Amino acid sequence: MSGFDFRGILRAGDVVAWPQGPGEPTGLSGALVAQRHDLPPFALLVGLGATRTVRREHADRITLRALNGAGTNRSWTDAGDIVPVPISQMPSRLRSGALRVDVVLLRVRPAATPGYYTTGVISDFTQALTETARVVVAELDERLPLMGHDSLIPVEAVDHLVPAFGDNILLPDPAPSDVDRAIARNVAAIVPDGATIQLGIGTLPTAVAAALRDHRDLGVHSGVVSDVLVDLVERGVVTNARKGIDTGYTVTGGLFGTQHLHAWSDSNPAIVMRACDYTHHPSTISRVHAMHAINSAIEIDLTGQANSELAGGRYLGAVGGQLDFVRGALAAPDGCSIMALPSTTPDGSISRIVASLEGRPVTTPRSDADVVVTEHGVAHLRGCGFQERARRLAAIAHPKFQDALRSANKQAVS
């Protein structure tokens, strides 16, 4: 058994958790699953996965639970269970005991503030995890950037500290496709100078950032940021000068990037790490000037309902923070909620604008639909009735599916 022996830590029925994405302490998490046959039965509760630590075969001894099917989780969620929680509510559900966590694994580094560690790349619900766990085990990892605010946890909160013995998780921005770039151009055309944007991770957010390179005085308020943030700041696109709150600061809960982002963020007062009951809470987002929330979906039906969770019978997405940002942006002064997606699946065989969700999840309800963007155009839905919504959505579907969608709409209203 390498790195750390969990036999004296775990009790039967314990729930073990670690932070999302790059916050995973890969040495400890790898040792835990490797030792599973020598440990009492336990459960894992994880958020977005960025490694292959958890695999379907681990369900032989571990009860697998996830907050989403995103990232590497999609390879095993059919062998586990999904816990659908809006990200803004994660800290309160942990602190109330509605979500129980007994053992927490972390990556930490001594913070600039005496008496504290920083979790560096993640702050979304790490404080709540450490406050509610019975045992906290951490890897001391000097590779983490020195960050403050809600990435800080008291030194005394850590019960066992070991030198880091796992890989550093670096997440380069993926290369966008031509379709991503076409969608991004349409998104950029409706984002005004001076707006505040929500950035994400993946090919489409990377393309949107590139399409915004000639904008000015943008702000960033986002659950996560990636390397593209640095490029926008260095070009003078992101100044955070007109946000209305947190003026002058990029606010995020996660650094999902490479050393490029980590080095820029290290001890940088221009970026603030906050917990998700701040970054994602609609009451916070609604105070941001011209908040333009940019999200995506697996499919959208002709009434404007968005499914961002299930595809082909598999759980691939998340409840996540989508509805948090949608509702916050709709309530913000001059705010806008943008749902951007390709018009078809990658092989072009299935339309992602559909007549009906037919019992599939409604992640964002039609009452919150605002603007939908594909590579074929922009559909403004705010204030529209069902028939007008259907006409506008069919018009931005792939041309080969438009007639069928228009026919389906006529049948629905006849």
| Section 25-46 average pLDDT | 97
pLDDT at position 2 is 61
If asked whether residues 251 and 151 sit together in one domain, one would say no
CATH number at residue 105: 3.40.1080.10
Domain hosting 80: range is 12-163
Backbone dihedral region of 307: left (phi > 0), alpha (psi from -120 to 50 degrees) or beta? beta
Q: What pLDDT digit, counting tens, does each position of 357-409 carry?
A: 999 999 999 999 999 999 999 999 999 999 999 999 999 999 999 999 999 87
Contact 52, 300 (CB under 8 A): no
pLDDT at position 88 is 97
If asked whether residues 244 and 105 sit together in one domain, one would say no
Q: Which of 102, 135, 163 is at the close of a domain?
A: 163
d(CA 53, CA 4): 16
Report yes or no on 173 lying in a domain.
Answer: no
Report yes or no on 168 lying in a domain.
Answer: no
| Section 73-82 average pLDDT | 93
If asked whether residues 127 and 206 sit together in one domain, one would say no
pLDDT band per the 50, 70, 90 thresholds, residue 414: very low
Q: What pLDDT digit, counting tens, does each position of 260-278 carry?
A: 999 999 999 999 999 999 9
Q: How many domains is the chain built from?
A: 2
Q: What pLDDT digit, counting tens, does each position of 10-33 carry?
A: 999 999 999 999 999 999 999 999
Which residues pair with residue 71 across a beta bridge? 49
Distance from chain centroid for Cα 263: 22
Contact 124, 25 (CB under 8 A): no
If asked whether residues 235 and 136 sit together in one domain, one would say no
Residue 7 confidence (pLDDT) above 70: yes
| Section 107-113 average pLDDT | 97
If asked whether residues 65 and 92 sit together in one domain, one would say yes
Distance from chain centroid for Cα 127: 18
Report yes or no on 250 lying in a domain.
Answer: yes
Q: What pLDDT digit, counting tens, does each position of 330-355 carry?
A: 999 999 999 999 999 999 999 999 99
Q: Model pTM?
A: 0.95
Contact 369, 305 (CB under 8 A): yes
If asked whether residues 218 and 332 sit together in one domain, one would say yes
If asked whether residues 153 and 183 sit together in one domain, one would say no
pLDDT at position 265 is 98
| Section 118-135 average pLDDT | 98
pLDDT at position 413 is 53
d(CA 298, CA 307): 6
Radius of gyration from C-alpha coordinates of the chain: 21
If asked whether residues 250 and 127 sit together in one domain, one would say no
If asked whether residues 114 and 220 sit together in one domain, one would say no
If asked whether residues 251 and 108 sit together in one domain, one would say no
Contact 366, 344 (CB under 8 A): no
